[in-house]
Structure 1
């Protein structure tokens, strides 16, 4: 899973850390400078920042100001320069929404971050816990503040047009007004202390890894536009642009993307990106069929494009509109001429990207073998250090060792998110990030949870394993085994084509539910191919969007149930699986039936399994999986007897 970005003590430190550790292109040592580990997790006094923001609000006649987490591309994970909600509130989780009035401030976040937000928010803030009974949503809270004709403002570039419409209606019903404020007021408060926008070089993702030329992808997109009778598609999501043009970037930590927009019409292709980021190899790759324009020119250009297109349209074109993703910004919608000239839809590029071709699927298989070997080597080393050598290691020591091991493997480009290395009670913090000097020493007598992943040129990995090195409690064993049963049940299911991840979610929770237990996160997320570790539009969980998109052959998705007891321990087991067609005795309704192929290749923890809770069929399944893990990864340990013996023990039949 991907983690929240924590507040840097200085922006210079943030930039150095990002360059040194988070780059998917440059694997550099961090240990030369201890300052790179200096991260402040204390509460930030936001009094002065809020006072400055409120002063600007009064000057612009704004009574309520909204600060979402996302950037102008609706990125889930953002560059430091776009961490506006983090800056104004002091809360560093990846999900949250801040709203400020002249005398109040509220922050809303989900169950993953309740504990973290409670610790990080100072006395200026009210915490709204999403999903808790009688707690208003941030939209409801905002609308309530707008009563009596108050004006609610927002930077239109950081909210979607769809969200803006819905909220505007709520606010109107309360007697208020929702208004676009083109200057971002938090940026003005931040001033010259705001980090600079990254400007890293772009690289080509060759066809030997992408499996398809970008020219073919453009033509397939144009066919979709023709079906929809669209004048053109404005691509605003960064991972979609990277995938569409077979390019990768380094502008957002852990996500190999670059700041850009693209416009594809029936006759033109324009990429909006800073020219300085494009080496000659990239320009040669794009050729003369792609026009390069400055990143900042997008809004002016699409306004002119829209005016020109509609001025030249005839009766046959009267119904044609420009197509944007339903996650495109309100600012982009306004620049194109508003709802009358724009059709919003789930992005055809996002849909195509989520269905991996055979080259990408094989890349996923191969990179997970190498990554699984790295994880096994790490777990064997960690157990030996803690049990045999009686070493004292903290959670960050574990993070560093695992990265050191991964670096040895072919095609390694960097991590895919901040590694969760958590012992005992810290494992119960779903999105935990250890920091040197503040983290815990790994306790061999407690649960250890490691959720980690890497970017490889041929794929992206994300694996969670929970271990115990001595004697687990009865409850720890029971909880682990119930989670394992859910993981297996989901992986083994067969389902008709057209089934959604929303429909499958209960399979992973059923054994926990039977005991009155559950977990507060999704069960699965899509994963990119050397792209974002969280990739839409598919997922497995209770979010409404997971009921809208059915799973398809070629999807790569995680299977990661868990269980957490605050202050005690946490358990999560995460395998990456790929959707494939399967054989069934019957085919009701003449529909194809689908299932999953696992690609994660590292063992489960024998020490935490309560065999009495497993069926013979489940034991057989685990044995077959462990046999495969051993066969595919043991070759990496010909000269490593420690890991080889550990692997033999952990993959031995039950």
Structure 2
């Protein structure tokens, strides 16, 4: 069983998830023969379809000739023979600010995940299955495209070993790489006589001097208690309790989502994510807390820019106008200027006076980790990460409420779009994304989108993380499938929903693919699992209907989602992949995840169905002693597309689930559409009761499904 799941783990990463490409690319294989090294060494951009003689470059291809030359010219002074350019920033963010898009700058590939490696005479980019098509079109022919999960594709480390020699050095900015990743890579390269060298200042920063956005510095606002459900004072106290259990005196907070959650503060330094550049140190031994933010003095006393609050940051954190806690009564946060050097100085000072453990995030950068001189260090998911993922009762209800309001906006838009496309009015992907944004922005408590809308018509829908631009824009017609993946940020929740449509006559094959995706989507939502189960142990449930006929998708089935935070939230995840660079956690009650299987036919169409679900305790007929059973509550409220469903493929259990879901959607959303007859009619047509000729359903399907669930649970206990 273990071997089966390790093999399946190579399939792919979570799409729209907290996962980044470094989950897999440094996993060591046993390929070490000289013939294999020669094969890897001989890999070339000429292997790519877009780099064949006579092929016209795609419009979105980026010329990186000058950028690569400028970077390589700095190798000698830095004492290196190659350079790693990660996607992440100093906080290991999945989605950095525009200022920190170094990998996109050097490679031209704009997807959120990837690793670029530049040597003196070669350059390669590693991408997971979400970005295969996108990378092929955006990379120019200086670049080798490494497709993760495909046979024969080397890891980053293997490729470096094949192309550098004993005695040479390979560089990386230590702020942009996780400490755990640095440790493993440095050990592996050392076996081949190659030195991994920290390089600061960053070499991309030295050459990216034209057209680079400024480092973000947006206003910070307090999030009222009626949305957060818990004060920052209570959260700090909870941190102290969790730290005491591990004998930790100091906790260093480096994740932007963690500082935003811990202090109930929100901003807009990162597109689509309400974060601000920050660090924090929670010192249980000294009973002090320090928050580091940009323009600290001015932001403390600035008037709120969000109408939801009347508090200044100074009032909210009970600190002095200068950020000092001197003379303050009650709990207070010391606020200092955001600075890597200031943080490291304060870490050294705090560590020197404590004998307890120092706790840092599993994703802490090499640079921050190396500043810790303590002998006892915990590097693991922080209690912030765990408590943030498990929503309190106020957050749970806020997520439900925001998804209801979001559904009203999406349904009104879809009813309008379908009507006008069928009438022959001109709609494009770009126009649809812009119009849907207007609908969401008009919703109560909306604070923007949660990610760039994915509106893929026809072949563009097959690009898993596609987003429309003027260069790629396609018409939305009655001839093609339309994949629409979108979401909003609200004061009381974050939404992410995907539906697939066809406004004309779909082919039998398109309908079968849609139905099989729907079957997996429903089977996953309807499952009952044992408490302590990891997402990797149940991911395959959503894939079974596709696997039955030899189809597959190159991404995970689900990602965590925050409450007015990141649309991709860890540490839990639902993906077949497993990595030593991710500290995975089992699914737990009151965590929210996406349920989003899909299928993508290159050059033809894409299908994805996505709901957000909350983990909750299951009500079961029997209760095995000492065992908790969990299931999911679906909070997304948008119907499926009936004319794309092949009912004969469904089991009775699946039909029952769809009917119950559609009734809930109609009962919940229908009354909120009283002001829009078109949307009300559109919803009603899609929530009609569905029946099968044989109401008992398919015994074979039910048996196969239950067998797969049993397989997943057995694997859970073996692992």
- Greater relative CO (CA pairs within 8 A, separation 6+): 2
- The equivalent of 1:18 in structure 2 is none
How far did 1:416 drift? 0.3
**In 2: Cα distance, 1:499 partner to 1:282 partner:** 40
Q: Which residue, 560, 564, 587 being the options, matches 2:600?
A: 564
Per the alignment, residue 384 of structure 1 pairs with: 419
* Equivalences for residues 184-263 of structure 1 within 5 A: 184-263=202-281
For 1:541 and 1:175, the matched residues in 2 are separated by 35
Match of 1:407 among 441, 444, 453: 441
Alignment of 1:379-528 (within 5 A): 379-387=414-422, 389-436=423-470, 438-528=472-562
Shift of 1:225: 1.3
Residue 522 of structure 1: SS of its match in structure 2? coil
Superposition deviation, residue 308 in structure 1 = 5.5
Whole-Å separation in 1 of the counterparts to 2:452 and 2:467: 7
Relative to structure 1, the CA distance from residue 93 to residue 437 in structure 2 (aligned partners, 3 Å threshold; closer, same or farther) is closer
Map Cα deviations across residues 487-514 of structure 1 (whole Å, 9 max, x no partner). Answer: 1111011111111111111110011111
Deviations 1:141-197 (A, max 9, x none): 123334321111111000011100000001100111111112100000112542210
1:323-356 deviations in Å (ceiling 9; x for gaps): 1101011000112237x45331122211110000
For residue 672 of structure 2, give the secondary structure of its aligned residue in structure 1.
helix
SS of residue paired to 2:151: coil
Asked if 1:287 corresponds to 2:324, the answer is: no
Q: Residue 201 of structure 1 contacts residue 277 of structure 1 at CA under 8 Å; is this kept in 2? A: yes
Summarize the Cα distance change of 1:381–1:653 in structure 2 as closer, same or farther, 3 Å threshold.
same
1:370 aligns with 2:388: no
Please, which of 277, 284, 288 is the counterpart of residue 268 of structure 1? 288
Structure 1 spans left out of the alignment, 5+ residues = 5-39
1:615 paired to 2:651:
yes
Change (3 A) 1:309 1:362: same
1:173-192 superposed matches below 5 A:
173-192=191-210
Q: CA deviation at 1:589?
A: 3.9
Match in the other structure for 2:380: 345
Counterpart mapping for 1:271-350 below 5 A: 271-274=291-294, 275=296, 276-278=298-300, 279=302, 281-288=312-319, 289-296=332-339, 298-307=340-349, 309-310=351-352, 312=353, 317=355, 320-337=356-373, 340=375, 342-350=377-385
1:361 aligns with 2:396: yes
The answer to whether the 8 A contact 1:420-1:449 is kept is yes
**Change over 3 Å in CA distance of 1:299–1:341 after alignment to 2:** farther
Residues 436 and 52 (structure 1), Cα distance of their counterparts in 2 relative to 1, 3 Å cut: closer
Q: 1:301 to 1:256 in 2, by over 3 A?
A: closer
**Residues 108, 643 of structure 1: alpha-carbon distance in 2 compared, 3 angstrom cutoff:** same
Displacement, 1:295? 0.3
Quick check: 2:483–2:606 contact (8 Å CA) kept in 1?
yes
- 1:597-626: CA deviation from partner (whole Å, max 9, x where unpaired): 000001000110001111222222211111
Question: In 1, distance between residues paired with 2:17 and 2:454?
Answer: 8
Deviation, structure 1 residue 463 = 0.3
What is the TM-score with the length of structure 1 in the denominator? 0.91
1:301 to 1:409, Cα distance in 2 relative to 1, 3 A: closer
Match among 664, 668, 672 for residue 636 of structure 1: 672
* Residue deviations 1:368-390 (CA, integer Å, cap 9, x gap): 11111111111111111011x21
Distance 1:481 1:307 in 2: 60
Q: Tell me if the contact between 1:425 and 1:568 (Cα under 8 Å) persists in the aligned partners.
A: yes
1:246 & 1:304 partners in 2: Cα distance? 23
Runs of 4+ residues deviating >4 angstroms: 1-4
1:429 CA displacement: 1.0
Secondary structure of the 1:590 match is coil
Give 1:47-58 correspondences, 5 Å limit.
47-58=65-76
Name the CA distance, whole Å, in 2 between partners of 1:336 and 1:3. 30
Aligned partners of 1:303 and 1:337 also within 8 Å = no
Secondary structure at the aligned position of 2:600 is classed as strand
Residues 443 and 143 from structure 1, CA distance in 2 versus in 1: closer, same or farther, beyond 3 angstroms? same
Cα distance in 2 for partners of 1:50, 1:397 equals 35
In the alignment, does 2:163 pair up with 1:163? no
Query: Matched residues in 1 for 2:158 and 2:212: separation?
Result: 31
Which residue of the partner structure matches residue 11 of structure 1? Answer: none
- C-alpha separation in 2, matches of 1:337 and 1:523: 40
- The one-character-per-residue Cα deviations of 1:195-236 (angstroms, maximum 9, x if unpaired) are 210110011111101100000101111111111112301100
| 3-state secondary structure, aligned to 1:222 | helix
Provide the alpha-carbon RMSD of the alignment: 1.7
Q: How many correspondences in the alignment?
A: 610
The answer to whether structure 1 residue 536 and structure 2 residue 567 are counterparts is no
Are the aligned partners of 1:254 and 1:414 in contact in 2 as well (CA < 8 Å)? yes
Looking at secondary structure, tell me which structure has more helix per residue.
1
Instruction: Report the alpha carbon displacement of residue 547 of structure 1 after superposing the two structures with TM.
Output: 8.9
Higher alpha-carbon deviation: 626-635 or 555-564: 626-635
SS in 2 for 1:618: helix
CA distance in 2, matches of 1:48, 1:137: 27
Residues 189 and 195, structure 2, Cα contact 8 Å, conserved in 1: yes
Cα drift, residue 455 of structure 1: 0.3
Between the aligned partners of 1:403 and 1:2, the Cα distance in structure 2 is 19
Does structure 2 retain, via aligned residues, the 8 Å contact 1:146–1:177? no
Q: Please state whether the residue corresponding to 1:588 is helix, strand or coil.
A: coil
- Tell me by how many angstroms 1:299 deviates: 3.4
* Counterpart-to-counterpart distance in 1, 2:267 and 2:100: 17
Give the secondary-structure state (helix, strand or coil) at the position aligned to 1:564. Answer: strand
Q: Give the SS at the match of 1:336.
A: coil
The equivalent of 2:108 in structure 1 is: 90
Aligned positions of 1:18-29 closer than 5 A: none
Q: Deviations over 1:56-108 (max 9, x none)?
A: 11112111111100000000011111010111111111111111111111111
* 1:12 alignment counterpart: none
Ranges in structure 2 where 5+ consecutive residues have no aligned partner: 1-14, 19-57, 304-311, 320-331, 691-719
- The aligned counterpart of 2:128 is 110
Give the Cα separation in 2 of the matches to 1:434 and 1:304. Answer: 45
